[in-house]
Amino acid sequence: MTYLAASVSELTGGNMWVCGALCRTRAPAQLGQRLLPESRRRRPASASFSASAEPSRVRALVYGHHGDPAKVVELKNLELAAVGGSDVHVKMLAAPINPSDINMIQGNYGLLPQLPAVGGNEGVGQVVAVGSGVTGVKPGDWVIPANPGLGTWRTEAVFGEEELITVPSDIPLQSAATLGVNPCTAYRMLVDFERLRPGDSIIQNASNSGVGQAVIQIAAARGLRTINVLRDRPDLQKLTDRLKNLGANHVVTEEELRKPEMKSFFKDVPQPRLALNCVGGKSSTELLRHLAPGGTMVTYGGMAKQPVIASVSQLIFKDLKLRGFWLSQWKKDHSPVQGADPHTLRSHPPRPTHGPRLLRGPAAGLPVCPRSIHAALRVFKADSHHVT
């Protein structure tokens, strides 16, 4: 695996990876394809560290100002802080690179870090050592960030215990490294906007993206039918087969979606009540055109960099609803109220969880989308396929 990539303009479905490459590379990094989202939370200067331990150095991908990732991100040696009483020393095992990371480095994302910053907001690491006051994790555990902004593009780091969530180590490494963002986004969109029942249909574009693949798997586990829209491409059949192996019911191209024949398609397939839009522009217009009356389109990305356009007739006569979703905002909105019961949410609570909680330690119950992670883990454990 490598963090070297072809072109920022080629951002699409899966993930590039920085695991391993940091240990092998000696030259400054040149980034391009895929990098992952949010701002880096800096540890306060007053944080307590053990003065007796000698500092060691780690390799990290760092940027000191916003701009083209290929020009502003550098591979640097950083000092690893000693482990204090409430700290956890983590060795990173895998860290993905998503489009939102690119946006963050460019400076046009919804959350921006204090500079200089280590890139990467998602990944999985293994606990090496813990401070004397740590009770929720132990050496050997796999952990992921509880919130965005940790800076996962490094070989090792020392984090506060409250910044981490333990996850089972018996799922694929890449699934664990991508568990905190895409599957959670997919799950929340499937349960928060429409009351869907087994047999109901949903439609989505960018179906081969990380979120799209998670939607397919989680929807299949919930008995929902998915209509998955792709751009036409030379390897279309290969990609179609792969998505159907994940659980996709129907795969169509953007061009097919615009054809009159789709009317007969929906005579056999229920019109979708939920549309998930990651593209915008004409693609989102087509999703709206096929939504059932009263349905909802949720926009969570804009890869086409074009506005979402809805006709007046769709809004008036079909009563379609247009919504947006951003996981970072969802976490803020569902954070425990200061001074209140930690399990009390600020706004409407999610539906009850079925089955045991998989999260342990102080991060469990905080704004980390635990039920979404639980749902994704159930899919990954029940199926040999996983989001890559």
For the CA atoms of 191, 195, 198, 203, the dihedral, rounded to the nearest 10 degrees, stands at -70
Give the strand pairing for 156-160 and 142-145.
unpaired
Cα-based distances in Å from 9 to 81, 112, 210, 308 = 37, 21, 17, 21
At 92 the three-state DSSP class reads strand
- CA nearest neighbour of 303 among 15, 7, 100, 30: 100
For residues 146 and 51, what is the distance between their CA atoms, to the nearest angstrom? 27
- In the block, residue with structure tokens 């883990």: 377
Contact 181/37 with Cβ under 8 angstroms? Answer: yes
- CA nearest neighbour of 151 among 256, 67, 73, 266: 73
| Catalytic residue flag (residue 109) | yes
Q: Which own/partner contact pairs does 239-242 have at CB distance under 8 Å and 24+ positions apart?
A: 239/208
Token pair, residue 164, equals 């981490």
Angle (CA) 279-281-284 rounded to 5° is 65
Token pair, residue 211, equals 């979120």
The residue from 3, 109, 187, 300 that is catalytic is: 109
Containing H/E element for 265? helix 262-268
Contact 78/155 with Cβ under 8 angstroms? Answer: no
- In the block, residue with structure tokens 């499937």: 190
For residues 386 and 376, what is the distance between their CA atoms, to the nearest angstrom? 10
For residues 38 and 40, what is the distance between their CA atoms, to the nearest angstrom? 7
Contact 157/362 with Cβ under 8 angstroms? Answer: no
Positions marked catalytic = 109
